[in-house]
Chains A and B, each alone.
Chain A
Amino acid sequence: RKEVEQDPGPFNVPEGATVAFNCTYSNSASQSFFWYRQDCRKEPKLLMSVYSSGNEDGRFTAQLNRASQYISLLIRDSKLSDSATYLCVVNGLGNQGGKLIFGQGTELSVKP
């Protein structure tokens, strides 16, 4: 089983649509979870950390289900500028110096 597994995509959606990305992780001891976005040939940029209680930042909502080892990201009212690859990322040890383990990414294309 892959350490971090995401929907393969791509997701092609019209502007204004709601889109959801799913991710599962294999190490039940993982403690810290993140969503990053990556534009073509650019660096990963932190979108949001994911907390057990769920968290929201504007149009973006992240959820964590530790029992199912499942992480999700919901984007509401999608914009053209949301087109990117979304990376599900897990810190294996959960400590500040721990390595990040990346999923393969899910590509999102928002069309006019």
Chain B
Amino acid sequence: EPEVTQTPSHQVTQMGQEVILRCVPISNHLYFYWYRQILGQKVEFLVSFYNNEISEKSEIFDDQFSVERPDGSNFTLKIRSTKLEDSAMYFCASNRGYEQYFGPGTRLTVT
């Protein structure tokens, strides 16, 4: 069964550094998303992406964040200058129909 994959599984970085989180969505899916979950809190939407452009973003997704689909398979989330409060699990998701499927997540720790 096809799955969404994400790398790395855990990323530790220092405050102010740039990080890139990578995702490979399910191959025939058309819509791609990033969500995050701070420890002990609910899953929150960050951004959706369709047809090579952002279709919606939340207020969390400020100028420090960007997304890209550099080739036919990868979907990346870049955080330009990380803050302590960016520490969270970041989940990528994709869908073709109405049901979204999530990758295993990247645990980002900002020190």
Contact of B31 among A45, A49, A97 (CB under 8 A): A97
Interface residues of B in 35-52 (CB under 8 A from A): 35, 41-45, 48, 50
Interface residue tally of chain A, by bracket?
A: 20 to 34
Say yes or no: is A96 at the interface (Cβ < 8 Å to chain B): yes
Contact of A34 among B42, B43, B99 (CB under 8 A): B99
- Collect the chain B residues with CB atoms within 8 Å of residue A32's CB: 98
Known: A43-B104, A44-B102. A97 touches B42 (CB 8 A): no
Task: Tell me, in angstroms, the Cα distance from A99 to B44 when the chains sit together.
Answer: 10
Which one of B69-77, B79-87, B88-96 contacts A?
Answer: B88-96
- Collect the chain A residues with CB atoms within 8 Å of residue B98's CB: 32, 49, 91, 94, 96
Contact: A104 with B42, CB < 8 Å? yes
Interface residue tally of chain B, by bracket?
A: 20 to 34
Contact flags (1/0) for A82-112 with B, using CB distance below 8 Å?
A: 0000010001001011111111110000000
- Collect the chain A residues with CB atoms within 8 Å of residue B44's CB: 102
- Collect the chain B residues with CB atoms within 8 Å of residue A98's CB: 48, 56
- Collect the chain A residues with CB atoms within 8 Å of residue B45's CB: 99-101
Contact: A44 with B43, CB < 8 Å? yes
Interface residues of B in 1-50 (CB under 8 A from A): 30-31, 33, 35, 41-45, 48, 50
Contact: B42 with A102, CB < 8 Å? yes
Task: Tell me, in angstroms, the Cα distance from A32 to B30 when the chains sit together.
Answer: 18
**A81, chain B: closest CB distance, angstroms:** 19
Say yes or no: is A1 at the interface (Cβ < 8 Å to chain B): no
- Collect the chain A residues with CB atoms within 8 Å of residue B43's CB: 44, 87, 100, 102
- Which B residues fall within an 8 A CB radius of A? 30-31, 33, 35, 41-45, 48, 50, 55-56, 58, 89, 91, 93, 95-105, 107
Q: Can you list 13 A-B contacts (CB < 8 A)?
A: A32-B98, A42-B105, A43-B102, A46-B99, A96-B95, A96-B98, A97-B31, A97-B55, A100-B45, A100-B100, A101-B45, A103-B42, A104-B41
